[in-house]
Amino acid sequence: MPERVRTDVGGAAAALDYDAELMLRVKEGDGASFGVLLDKHRSSVVHFLYRMVQNHPVAEELAQEVFLRVYRSRSTYEPTAKFTTWLFRIATHLALNALRDGKNERLQEHLDDDSSDMPVRQISDSRPSVEQFMVYQARLDEVRRAVATLPEKQRAAVLMHKYEEMEYSQIAKVLNCSESAVKSLLFRAYETLRARLAHMA
Amino acid sequence: MRCPIETRENAEMLLAYCSRKLDAESTAILEDHIRICPACREFAGGQQAVWRALDAWEAIPVSADFDRRLYGRIEKEVSWWDLLMRPFRPLLFRQGLPIAAAVALVIGAGVLLQRPGAVSPASTPVSAQVDVVAPDQAEHALQEMEMMREFNRLVHPDTADPKM
């Protein structure tokens, strides 16, 4: 599928990303296009929210709310920014609110527990020994704790930069700040993470 | 080159290098510098360790019923409108009918307005407004129902007749 298409919106030709084109179709009543958008972005939104709130059920609940808001806004949607910028702005807003509201109060105890929703490590050549598995879990726990201790905005910036591979400019639009502020956030965040995780080299 | 660790602006270059986003030419220049600069070597080593550590954090697969739950919530939101329009559904299914009815009303209102004293001036805008809004509502309802049919097809692909 083409990533960028040229389309005519409101009489004026505008270069839109393919997702924005799909969203405009949703606006016109095409439910199937909403399904395509959902298929395309479901995983990245859930994964971003999971890493933000570190609680799988809460992350999925928030992701549902993200897509519900996208659907609700279809009639007023205007492609003024990249679709993913808009999508992650909604996701970040919901995640930050959830963190502030203490929706994931279980987070701390969850981190202290043996987590039930940790991913099962797939090792292709052989099954990991119990010892390898425990080492992996301990390292993973350390990474999660290190990320969880970052201030919320730094955390969001790191997750978008590292896992969603977003450009500084796009992260800036999502977080509603300047590009230099994003660079500063990332620099400080990675500094903190280096201090906490460098020994894992 | 000037040591990138000395200014925060240039340190961005080191971050880009560690996240494998730096272009080939700049990478070569930076690697030459890293070989002779212990501070940058330490920074890059630490940052690459962070990158590898973060790589190990795999996300959990999305629940299999995620879409079903989402479409269920969307369906609930749409259903109030469906409920409201249910009495008019037989008419709405014939798309031409509401439009024809609206046109007839507009013509009727026009004819009435031509007759002096038949309709008071105060009542004119009200009837005109109702005439103009009716086709829009009908069209909106049809769009909603069409989307619901598509969602139903996505959620219940086996069901031939959508539950509407």
Q: Do A68 and B74 touch (CB under 8 A)?
A: yes
Average of per-residue pLDDT across A55-76: 95
Phi, psi (5° rounding) for residue A16?
-120, 155
The larger pLDDT score, comparing residue A20 to residue B124, is at A20
Residues of A in contact with B48 (CB under 8 A): 201
List the one residue out of A113, A123, A184 whose CA is nearest residue A145.
A113
**ipTM for the complex?**
0.77
Q: Do A50 and B150 touch (CB under 8 A)?
A: no
Structural domains present in chain A:
1-107 (1.10.1740.10), 128-201 (1.10.10.10)
Tell which phi-psi region holds residue A11, choosing left (phi > 0), alpha (psi between -120 and 50) or beta: left
Number of H helices, E strands in chain A: 9, 2
Contact status, residue B56 vs residue A54, Cβ threshold 8 Å: no
| Predicted TM-score of the model (pTM) | 0.69
The answer, for B28 touching chain A at a CB cutoff of 8 Å, is no
pLDDT digits (tens, 9 = 90+) for A98-132: 998 875 565 555 544 444 455 544 445 566 788 88
Does the pLDDT value for residue B125 go beyond 60? no
Tally of CB atoms within 10 A around A25: 17
Q: Do A162 and B59 touch (CB under 8 A)?
A: no
CA distance from start to end of chain A: 39
Q: Check residue A4 and give its pLDDT.
A: 43
CA B16/CA B10 separation, integer angstroms: 10
Q: Do A198 and B49 touch (CB under 8 A)?
A: yes
What is the share, in percent, of chain B residues with pLDDT greater than 70? Answer: 59
Contact status, residue A63 vs residue A93, Cβ threshold 8 Å: no
pLDDT digits (tens, 9 = 90+) for A5-22: 444 444 333 456 899 999
The answer, for B68 touching chain A at a CB cutoff of 8 Å, is no
pLDDT digits (tens, 9 = 90+) for B13-29: 888 888 888 889 989 98
Q: Check residue B128 and give its pLDDT.
A: 44
